[in-house]
Amino acid sequence: MQRTSISLADFREITGTTISERVAGYYGWQSTRRSDGTWAYDKTLQSAPLPVSKVVDGCGRRFEGPNYCSQDYLSLASHEAIKEAAINAIQQLGVHSAGSSALLGNTAISRQLEDELADFVNYEHLLLFPTGWAAGYGVIKGLVRPDDWVIMDALSHACLQEGAKAATRNIVSVPHLDNEAFEKRLARIRASHPHSFILAITETVFSMDSDTPDFHRFLDICRSYGAVSLVDVAHDLGCLGFNGRGQLEIQNAIGGPDILIGSFSKTFASNGGFIATKAAATKEYLKNVLLPPDFLKCSVANPSRNRASGASYCAIRRWRPASRTAVQQQLVPAFAIGPEWIHLSRRAVRYCAGISGRGRAGAGAVAQSVKPGCCLEFCRVSGSRRQQVADQDAGSKRPHECAR
Ligand SMILES: Cc1ncc(COP(=O)(O)O)c(C=O)c1O
Domain-terminating residue out of 317, 332, 349: 317
Answer yes or no: is 23 within a domain: no
pLDDT of residue 2: 55
Ligand 1 atom index nearest CA of 272 = 10
Local confidence band at 183 (pLDDT 50, 70, 90 cut-offs): very high
Instruction: Compute the average pLDDT of residues 342-354.
Output: 43
Rounded to two decimals, the pTM is 0.83
Answer yes or no: is 110 within a domain: yes
For the ranges 36-40, 125-129, 298-302, 354-358, the lowest mean pLDDT is seen at 354-358
**CA 132–ligand 1 middle distance (angstroms):** 5
Residues 156 and 217 placed together within one structural domain of the fold: yes
CB distance 232 to ligand 1 below 6 Å: yes
Other Cβ atoms closer than 10 A to 269: 30
Residues 280 and 184 placed together within one structural domain of the fold: yes
CB distance 263 to ligand 1 below 6 Å: yes
The number of residues making up the chain comes to 404
SS3 call for 206 = coil
Residues 233 and 115 placed together within one structural domain of the fold: yes
Instruction: Compute the average pLDDT of residues 371-393.
Output: 38
Q: Is the pLDDT of residue 205 over 80?
A: yes
CB distance 305 to ligand 1 below 6 Å: no
Residue 286: CB partners within 8 Å, gap ≥ 6?
A: 127, 138, 139, 142, 143, 275
Q: Is 354 left (phi over 0), alpha (psi -120 to 50) or beta?
A: left
- Burial category of 124 from C-beta neighbours within 10 Å (exposed 0-12, middle 13-18, buried 19 and up): middle
Answer yes or no: is 29 within a domain: no
Give buried/exposed letters for 146-155 (b at 16+ CB in 10 A, else e): eebbbbbbeb
pLDDT of residue 260: 98
pLDDT of residue 1: 52
pLDDT of residue 323: 52
Residues 303 and 326 placed together within one structural domain of the fold: no
Local confidence band at 68 (pLDDT 50, 70, 90 cut-offs): low
Answer yes or no: is 165 within a domain: yes
Instruction: Output the average pLDDT for the chain.
Output: 78
Q: Are 90 and 275 in contact (CB under 8 A)?
A: no
Answer yes or no: is 132 within a domain: yes
**CA 73–ligand 1 middle distance (angstroms):** 13
Q: What is the CATH number of the domain that holds 256?
A: 3.40.640.10
Residues 383 and 241 placed together within one structural domain of the fold: no
CB distance 273 to ligand 1 below 6 Å: yes
73 closest CA partner among 41, 51, 54 = 51
Instruction: Compute the average pLDDT of residues 384-399.
Output: 36
Local confidence band at 168 (pLDDT 50, 70, 90 cut-offs): very high
pLDDT of residue 3: 56
Domain region containing 174: 81-317
62 closest CA partner among 332, 389, 354 = 354
Answer yes or no: is 369 within a domain: yes
CB distance 236 to ligand 1 below 6 Å: no
Local confidence band at 297 (pLDDT 50, 70, 90 cut-offs): low
CB distance 207 to ligand 1 below 6 Å: yes
Answer yes or no: is 4 within a domain: no
Residues 305 and 384 placed together within one structural domain of the fold: no
Other Cβ atoms closer than 10 A to 156: 22
- In whole angstroms, what is the distance from residue 368 CA to residue 383 CA? 16
Residues 356 and 241 placed together within one structural domain of the fold: no
Domain-terminating residue out of 288, 317, 346: 317
Residues 149 and 275 placed together within one structural domain of the fold: yes
Question: Could you report the per-residue pLDDT of 252-290, keeping only the tens digit for each?
Answer: 999 999 999 999 988 888 889 999 999 999 998 888 877
For the chain, how many structural domains are there in total? 2
Question: Could you report the per-residue pLDDT of 316-335, keeping only the tens digit for each?
Answer: 776 555 455 554 444 433 32
3-state helix, strand, coil in the chain (%, to 5): 50, 10, 40
Answer yes or no: is 33 within a domain: no
Residues 156 and 273 placed together within one structural domain of the fold: yes
Residues 246 and 340 placed together within one structural domain of the fold: no
For the ranges 117-131, 202-216, 364-378, the lowest mean pLDDT is seen at 364-378
CB distance 74 to ligand 1 below 6 Å: no
Residues 135 and 261 placed together within one structural domain of the fold: yes
Domain-terminating residue out of 297, 317, 337: 317
Q: Is the pLDDT of residue 346 over 60?
A: no
pLDDT of residue 147: 98
Residue 367 or 309, more confident: 309
Residues 61 and 162 placed together within one structural domain of the fold: no
**CA 396–ligand 1 middle distance (angstroms):** 30
